[in-house]
Amino acid sequence: MSGEEVRERDVRTPRSAKGVVITQLVAYAALLIVAALVSIWPSDPVLIVWTILVAVTGLGALLRWWPFDDTFRTSVVERMVSGLAGICAFVAAGMVVPHLVRDPGAATSRASITSWAVVFGILVTVLVIVGFITQMLRTVRSHLIRSLSHAVFGGIACVSAAGWCFLPVFIAIALTSGGGKHVAGVVIVMAVVLLILLSLGAAAASWWREGAEDGSHDYIGVALLPVMIGGIAMYMATLAMYFLIF
C-alpha cells in the first residue's frame, strides 16, 4: 500500500452537525415554551407534571440514544445506574420547586434551593464510586479510563438534567418587581447561562463532526448530552439570583 493511499485512509471527512444543532434548538425551545406556560399556572399539580415531563423526556431520550459506544453489557449497566441517579435528582427537585415558585422570596427559599446542591453532590460522588467498582468487576479491563469517564459523564448528564426543573423558578424571580440591581442581575446571569449553553453546544457539534465514520455515536444522544448538562447551569443561575437579588 502506497503512502498516498495510507494518508487517504487516515483522512476522515467531517460529518455535518446540522442534526445536532437542530436537535438542541428544538430541545431548548420546548423547555422554554413549556416552562413559560407552567409559570402562568404555577400550581403544585402543574409543577409536578412539569418535573415528570422533563424527567421522562430528558432521561428517556438520552438513555434511548446513549451517545457512548461501549459494549452492550457495559452500556446497559451505565444506563441503569445513570437513570436511577437521574430519577433521584428529579425527585429531589420536585420536592422543592413548587415551594420556590409559589414564594421565591420566602425566608426558607435559600435553604430549600441549596438543599438540591447537596443532593447533586452526593449523587455525583455515588456515580464515581459505582462507576469505579463496575469497571473493576469487568473481566477484561481494556480502555478502563475511557469506560469510566463514559459512565461518570453519562450519569452526571442525567443528574444535571434535573436542574431544568428550576427554570420556572428562574422565570418567577425574573418577573418579580425590582430596581436596577434586579434587572442587572437577571441580564448578567442570563448572559452567562447563554454563553455556557453555546459552549456546550459547540463542543457537541465538534464531537459529532470529528467522530468515526461508522456512525457509532447517534447524533440525537450527542445533541442531548450538552442540553442535559446545561441543566446544572440553569440551577446555578437560579441559585445566583437568590444571592444577587434577595
Residue recorded with cell 443561575: 237
What percent of the chain stands above pLDDT 90?
A: 47
Mean pLDDT of 161-187: 85
**CB 217 within 8 Å of CB 210:** no
Three-class secondary structure of residue 221 per DSSP: helix
Q: What is the pLDDT of residues 60-113, one digit of tens each?
A: 999 988 887 665 566 788 889 999 999 999 999 999 999 888 887 777 888 889
Q: Where are the beta strands (DSSP E) in the chain?
A: none
Helices 219-245 and 18-40 cross at an angle (nearest 10°) of 40
Residues 6+ apart with CB under 8 A from 63: 79, 82, 83, 158
How far apart CA 159 and CA 232 sit, in angstroms, is 8
The answer to whether the predicted template modeling score (pTM) of the entire model surpasses 0.95 is: no
Q: Could you tell me the CA-to-CA distances from 123 to 34, 160, 168, 184, 218 in Å, in that order?
A: 27, 10, 23, 33, 26
Cα 61 from chain centroid (whole Å): 12
**CB 90 within 8 Å of CB 162:** yes
pLDDT on residue 179: 67
Mean pLDDT of 163-178: 87
Q: Report DSSP letters for 27-55, one per residue.
A: HHHHHHHHHHHHHHS--HHHHHHHHHHHH
Mean pLDDT of 24-50: 92
Residue ranges per structural domain of the chain: 26-245
Q: What is the pLDDT of residues 42-63, one digit of tens each?
A: 888 999 999 999 999 999 999 9
Which one-letter amino acid corresponds to residue 213?
E
pLDDT on residue 115: 93
pLDDT on residue 189: 92
- Taking residue 57's Cβ as centre, other Cβ atoms within 10 Å add up to 16
Residues 6+ apart with CB under 8 A from 232: 120, 160, 163
pLDDT on residue 148: 78
Mean pLDDT of 234-245: 88
pLDDT on residue 233: 96
Burial (Cβ within 10 Å: 0-12, 13-18, ≥19) of residue 54: buried
Mean pLDDT of 178-200: 87
Mean pLDDT of 232-237: 96
Cα of first residue to Cα of last residue in the chain, in angstroms, is 70
Residue of 49, 22, 13 lying closest to 34 (CA atoms): 49
pLDDT on residue 206: 85
